[in-house]
Chain A
Amino acid sequence: MKTKEKKKSFELPSDEPKWLFEKRLSALISYEKEPLPNRVSHLWKYSDPSWFEFNSNNGSIVSSEKLKPVFALDNEATEKGVVLIELSDAFRNEKYNDLILKYFSQLTAKCPNKFAYFNEAIWSSGYFLYVPKNVKIEKPITVRLLFNQLSSLEAVRILILLEEGSSLNLIDEMSSPEDSKRLLNTVTEIFLEKESRLSYANLQLHSKQTISHLFQRAEIKNNAELTNVIVALGGKISKADLGTDLCGTHAGVTTYGIVLGDGVQKFDHHTTLEHNAPYTKSDLNFRVALKDTSRSAYTGNLKISHEAVKSDAHQENRNLLLSSDAKAESIPELEILTNDVTRCNHGVTVGQIDKDQVFYLMSRGLSQKEAEQVIIEGFVEPTISRIPEESLREDIMLKIKNKLGVL
């Protein structure tokens, strides 16, 4: 009964289907049972799991006022049958019951995780995106999640499903007002059916008081392709655990990561890439620039299973340290269980800003700050320039410039 009471205190909407309520309860029990992750495994080596726990230290006010994602579907998309609605609405609408039952929490169930259980128990906002078979939408769809002042805890749940042969460009922009302390827990599940194509970007622009935990899992079927862009600029502590299961032949994932840190910001990004089928392809390009006493840890785990013959995997992580107090960690791991790989390699560099370059730019009339900005922009440019959509590239560059402008 204790659990039930506790759950009640999160003031969840009461008009949910009963089975979902039961699911929340069992997730809450699992959350309480599941011990904090073991810090010996590299995934938690650089972040203390207790930072992301909900307790009186990091927040106690939970608003009953639900966070509303802001998005707009244009006529074309609506006419073609694309569905983009709040997740809680999707649960209430019988039309989507079958889909939701089939996909919701299928990927989180595969990797038991305390913070995913927590999310499953208390999520209140988020959205459901569905693209029907063979529907191709060119124009990017942007979803804005602006966290409100009142709540100090938010759990966001996102479910994305692309049916066979469909394609979409999607941008999630997450931000919160300055000087608002909060704990954020996001779980995103992405399903790409055969021959579908998703370009997904997660832009993290939180206030410097926000503690964020993002857990993202994607399942990619035959010939489907995911382009996964993650840009982390905000937050006090920002941890992202991104996992991709390449389970269909010729499935592919390309990951682009950009992290810019300043002040006392802490970033911890983890990627799990699993090649579980033949001819699968993964490519990762992660660039981190750090100022002041900011810190970044990038840990990656790339697995090529015995079945995944003729796979092709490439990982690259580059770190630029702009101050002697900044700190970068990198653990790109490879676990290869077949010899029949087309290519499998990774590379890491950690370097400082080139003083000659700064000097050269300054001799051309730039201030030191401007020169550093130019160099940082130049450092992240090779990753950004590979992102396929021009508008997204411009948007990201603009946000980076914004951040650099106030550095």
Chain B
Amino acid sequence: MALELNNEYQYGFHDSEENYAFKSGRGLTKEIVLSISKMKNEPQWMTEFRLKSLEIFYKKPMPKWGNTQLISEIDFENIFYYVKSSEKQEKNWEDVPKEIKNTFDRLGIPEAERKFLAGVSAQYESEVVYHSLREDLKKLGVLFLDMDSGLREHPEIVKKYFSTIIPPEDNKFAALNSAVWSGGSFIYVPPNTKVEIPLQAYFRINTENMGQFERTLIIADEGSSVHYIEGCTAPTYSSDSLHSAVVELIALKNAKIRYTTIQNWSKNVYNLVTKRAVAHEGAVVEWLDGNMGSKLTMKYPSIYLVGEKAHGEVVSVALASGSDQHQDAGAKIIHAAPNTTSVIISKSISRNGGRASYRGLLKVLKGAANVKSSVKCDALMLDEKSRSDTYPTMEIDEQGVQIEHEATVSKIEDEKLFYLMSRGLSEEQAKLMIVNGFMEPFVKELPMEYAVELNRLIELEMEGAVG
């Protein structure tokens, strides 16, 4: 991993600092931003963009909502904003803690991947797979690069769309990302091109894959379709205390984008991510968003339905486990055109003192007639120590609408448990079955291997849930 920033290394497999080719000092200054831009040989406009964003970052106040107590603990002065690692990153597999290795075992993660995920290897050895995929994509004219290469090789496309959906003024963390971004994916799909297999960040793994301030831009041109998968179910160990990504999706007329994320950051990470999509006429955007890890996640994938008959969908699950974890996730959908439709399905599970919050916004702007939207939030609480919140906001400016919102909070019902146990299942098996059933609407949308991994992960998390 490229951007190991904090000097504290919770899991003990600490890099010696000499391994880094370049490391900025702690804290954030104009000089650091300039040197990041210079190291990357960026065009002038990007350098200026970074500097402008830095000013905005300084000026913007911290969010006054959400878990303000936890966010106020972030120490911006004590973060390395840019670290470029040298070619060889030598962490030792032997140093990886046992419980992490166990998790990999249980999830059935291939050997090469494990090393990458544990931060032992910066390179996931998928070159062969990736290479053949790359050939196929090339034939289609699909661009699939990391963001830095995207900017180098296709500056005209990047310049046209970059930061048009999420301006640095949007929020403090978007401004921070805009100033110091590094890595992330750049995808362009030409008109009427259907990318059949999901594009995974996995396949494009290099030293700048899963950074701290990654920046992703996906453009699906008219009539095209693409499915992108970010992250993975296996735990991602990072010494970074702050992960703040910006993801922009642009679905032009009749295009379709599906973006799947499953984040499983280690529990020292603040995961504060801005994700937004614009759907033009007849376009479809779907966010599938799974939140398993991190200390605090604040992430509300948004869809602006700006063209007639556009459709947006956000399906999310959150698992908050342990009193040191708060999943504050949700969705935002803005209907800005007539005949647009949207669906939000949110599922959260809190256990062992964890806190899961759904925070959502559904907005129908004036003139967006004949809008239909349905929002459904279900929360499952597994013990009396845990907490579940629902913070939905609905702002409706137009009469021709059908809006429905429903939320339920429940526990595992004794009747259901009894029924399953009377069929010969143990209590643990029965509970797991109920939890799996609860997660079904999300899991069934995932590619098979992800679904399998996610189920195993839930099984692992549920261990010891009895009693």
Contact = CB atoms under 8 A, between A and B. Distances in A.
Q: Number of contact residues on A: which range applies?
A: 35 or more
A333 B406 contact: no
Nearest to B402: A351
Interface in A296-318: 306, 309
Nearest to B387: A337
Interface of A is mostly: strand
Q: Which of B350, B383, B392 has the most CB of A within 10 A?
A: B392
B452 interface: no
A301 B242 CA distance: 31
A321 B401 contact: yes
A319 interface: yes
Given A321-B399, A321-B401, A324-B369, A330 B394 contact: yes
B404 A347 contact: yes
Given A321-B396, A339-B384, A350-B394, A38 B405 contact: no
A314 to B, nearest CB: 10
B409 A345 contact: yes
A150 interface: no
Contacts of A344: 408-410
Interface in A3-55: 38, 40-42
Nearest to B382: A339
A326 interface: yes
A340 interface: yes
Nearest to B379: A336
Interface of B is mostly: strand
A268 to B, nearest CB: 13
Contacts of B390: 332-335, 346
B137 interface: no
Contact of A333 (B382, B391, B398): B391
Nearest to A295: B397
Contact of B386 (A319, A327, A339, A351): A339
A328 interface: yes
Contacts of B391: 42, 331, 333
B384 A347 contact: no
A324 to B, nearest CB: 5
A329 interface: yes
A306 B389 CA distance: 13
A348 B382 CA distance: 26
A323 interface: yes
A324 B389 contact: no
A334 B411 contact: no
Contacts of A325: 366
Contacts of B65: 40-41
A352 interface: yes
B96 interface: no
B219 interface: no
Contacts of B223: none
B389 A327 contact: no
Q: Which of B393, B399, B406 has the most CB of A within 10 A?
A: B399
Contacts of B407: 332, 334, 345-347
Nearest to B364: A350
A286 to B, nearest CB: 13
23 contacts: A41-B65, A42-B393, A319-B396, A321-B401, A322-B399, A326-B399, A327-B395, A330-B394, A331-B392, A331-B393, A332-B405, A334-B407, A335-B387, A339-B350, A339-B382, A341-B381, A344-B408, A347-B406, A348-B394, A349-B402, A349-B404, A351-B402, A352-B400
Interface of A: 38, 40-42, 306, 309, 319, 321-341, 343-353
Given A322-B399, A328-B394, A348-B392, 19 more contacts: A40-B65, A309-B384, A319-B396, A323-B399, A324-B369, A326-B399, A331-B392, A331-B394, A332-B392, A332-B407, A333-B389, A334-B409, A341-B381, A341-B410, A347-B405, A348-B404, A349-B405, A350-B396, A351-B403
